[in-house]
Amino acid sequence: MSEVSDKFVPASPFQVPQRERRLLKFKVPRKRASLLHNLILTESEALSIASKPAVFAVDYSPGDTIQVEYKESLAPGSRVDKIRGVVLGKVQRGVASSVIIRDVVLEAVIERQIPLHSPLCLSIEVLEKNWVKKGKRAKRAKLFYLRDRPDAEVRVTG
């Protein structure tokens, strides 16, 4: 005669109580990998923010003019470019965060999306606040309508 165990063995996961079902979810390898990946990304983002206060402590918004110091490459002795432009928008996606700037240099429109967590981005400096509206705050998060305006309206460099 076999012994009957006192433990209840459910036939499906829906018969498990709610609290235990939440704990079972992270035993599935796909879910556990997703959780670990998210943890690694948040830790790397926190380390990047702590190591680069010249980039992340600066308060700027769309419509401001900024100057970004950006290295050409990670090779020793590489040149540092100073890129100026009007902030068209911020892209806030964790480690993939970036800023979109636009400027007119020698009659050519230059629009760049600069990744903020990149080791090539050294610092950001605000040249003028609320530059687009001449003192008034821009009321949009993305100023893509400036692409349709005349080039003189977004010219920062002389």
**What percentage of the chain reaches a pLDDT higher than 90?**
35
Residues 19 and 82 in one domain: no
Q: Is 142 exposed, middle or buried (0-12, 13-18, 19+ CB in 10 A)?
A: middle
Above 80 in pLDDT, residue 66? Answer: yes
pLDDT (0 to 100) of residue 19: 65
Tokens 């400096």 -> residue: 125
| Full domain range(s) for residue 92 | 54-153
Residues 95 and 128 in one domain: yes
pLDDT tens per residue, range 3-28: 555 555 555 555 656 666 666 666 66
Query: If residue 39 lies in a helix (H) or strand (E), which one and from where to where?
Result: helix 29-51
Residues 60 and 125 in one domain: yes
pLDDT tens per residue, range 79-109: 999 999 999 999 999 899 999 999 988 888 8
Buried b (16+ CB within 10 A) or exposed e, 49-64: eeebeebeeeebebbb
Task: Read off the pLDDT of each residue in 44-70 and give the average, rounded to a whole number.
Answer: 91
